[in-house]
Structure 1
Amino acid sequence: MKGIIFTKENFLLTIKGLKTQTRRIIPEKVIEKFYNYDDRVSSVGKPDGIACIRLYEEDFLPQFSRYKVGEIVYLKEPYQHAIVHEMVGYGYFYGCDKIEDYSCDLSWFREMSRDGSSEWQERWNKYEDEKMNKLFMPEIAARYFIKITGVKAERLQDISEEDCLLEGIKIGRCGNESKWMKAFYAPDDNQPYITAKSAYEEVFNRINGKGAWRINPFVWVYDYELTKQF
């Protein structure tokens, strides 16, 4: 099973069901595949002289997407090996949870099979008190999963106001009680924006680097929903 990484803010929005869409920049090597295909189709015709049917970017690129419609993907997050002696249990402590004393609160605890406990003890001894990088989180440690429900390709700046809301942009207002106006906000940010698109621009630049929005790259647009592991 493949994993997917979100920022902490987008991870929390996803598990709360407040974010159901994500955009990922399409690698340059995939874009080159399209340009090579486009050159080939433009220069080759059928024997009867009728030109080949040409696929445009939005039709050609999705076949190379990392995630496919119907696929189950696990969410990666910081994690830590844990042993609860009172339960004689073995499991994980997760870094996105704000639990100060997890020895007294077991709501975070995901118990693993007690088979092979010696192997788990060995891993715990090795990684005790060490927060593991979410980049390397294995499927077995995952607790949240999403199902891909839609895949398409488009230019980044073609995002609609509606899709910005699916990306986790919040609707609010700014001003005072007597004089206020509708506004849009990026996650964990109190800076108001006039449009959802301008708020999403801030989010995208924050994740992908200053100026990433201006480049207007091709992106894969993934729609998804929370689901259980199968």
Structure 2
Amino acid sequence: MTDRPILFSAPMVRALLDGRKTQTRRLCKDQPPPGVTIIRKTIRPFGKEPYHAFERRTKFGNFGGEVPVKISRGDRLWVKETHARVGDNGDDHMACPDLTRLVYYRADDVQPELSRWRPSIFMRRQDSRLTLLVTDVRVERLQDISIGDALAEGWPGAVEANKMPATKWYRHLWDEINGAGSWDANPWVAAYTFTVIKQNIDQIEKVAA
């Protein structure tokens, strides 16, 4: 088991808090060059965690070998999100009237545009409030996502998604995050399934005790 940070936007943090999001997809570091057709296979060494490998279907190109997926089943991910610390804004006494909190979060703010925020990349481990326990890891093409997977990615519902079904909503979300045309490129991604724990990663054992 390894502890790793992972970044999420404010809407995705809200989906985590609401219990709508139990999956996330991230680009694989290595991608096949254009024109190379490949298949995916899962190798399960005896007594070890499985890993994913690409197998060429054409003699052209040099893409192949093990897929570098850093996150494994059993890992714990501590969520980094856009936030502010007490003292960042002049009206902190209004955001934290009792001053017992040292940090507050953009995902909770009803008027986030009125505050100064620290980007999620700068969040300290001690300020994280969400921990994800990874239960499954898959390597697949982006467009292989199923309806159930799209729902698990945090689909907010037909009304909130402007009447878009889950898979279409996720397509728009992916392009919004990764740039126009990134969905059509259909890259290889690592799909992580997890359980959400609404606690700081270092407080879980302390609370359980």
Query: TM class, shorter-chain normalised?
Result: 0.5 to 0.7
* 1:170–1:90 Cα change, 3 Å: closer
Are the equivalent residues in 2 in contact too, given 1:57–1:153 (CA < 8 A)?
no
Closer, same or farther: CA 99–165 of 1 in aligned 2, 3 Å: closer
Q: Give 2:145's aligned residue.
A: 159
Bigger helix share = 1
Name the structure 2 match of 1:57. Answer: 54
Name structure 2 gaps, 5 residues minimum.
Answer: 40-51, 56-64, 88-92, 205-209
Letter of the structure 1 residue corresponding to residue 182 of structure 2: A
Task: String of CA shifts for 1:44-74, please: whole Å, max 9, x gaps.
Answer: xxxxxxxxxxx7439942xx22322111111
1:170–1:82 CA distance, 2 compared to 1 (3 A): closer
Q: Considering only CA atoms, is the larger Rg found in Structure 1 or Structure 2?
A: 1
Contact 2:20 2:156 in 1 (8 A): no
Aligned residues: 163
In the TM superposition, 1:62-211 aligns within 5 A as 64-82=68-86, 89=100, 91-98=102-109, 130-172=116-158, 188-190=160-162, 192-193=163-164, 195-211=165-181
**TM-aligned CA deviation for residue 168 of structure 1:** 1.6
What secondary structure sits across from 1:200 in the alignment? helix
Q: Is the 8 A contact 2:10 2:82 kept in 1?
A: no
Q: 1:13 aligns with which of 9, 12, 15?
A: 15
In 1, Cα distance between the equivalents of 2:129 and 2:166?
31
Whole-Å separation in 2 of the counterparts to 1:6 and 1:95: 11
Alpha-carbon offset, residue 2 of structure 1 = 1.9
Give the alignment's TM-score, normalised by structure 1: 0.61
CA contact (8 A) 1:18 1:168 kept: yes
- Once the two structures are TM-superposed, the CA of residue 19 in structure 1 deviates from its matched residue by 0.8
Please name the residue that 1:111 is paired with: none
Letter in 2 for 1:19: K
1:3-42 deviation line (CA, Å, top 9, x unaligned) = 11122211110121111011111113x769xx9xx9xxxx
- Which AA in structure 2 matches 1:72? R
* 1:86-106 C-alpha deviation (Å, 9 max, x unpaired): 867561122221267xxxxxx
Q: TM-score, normalised by structure 2?
A: 0.66
Q: Distance in 1 between matches of 2:86 and 2:186?
A: 44
- Give me the whole-angstrom Cα distance separating, in 1, the residues matched to 2:16 and 2:99: 32
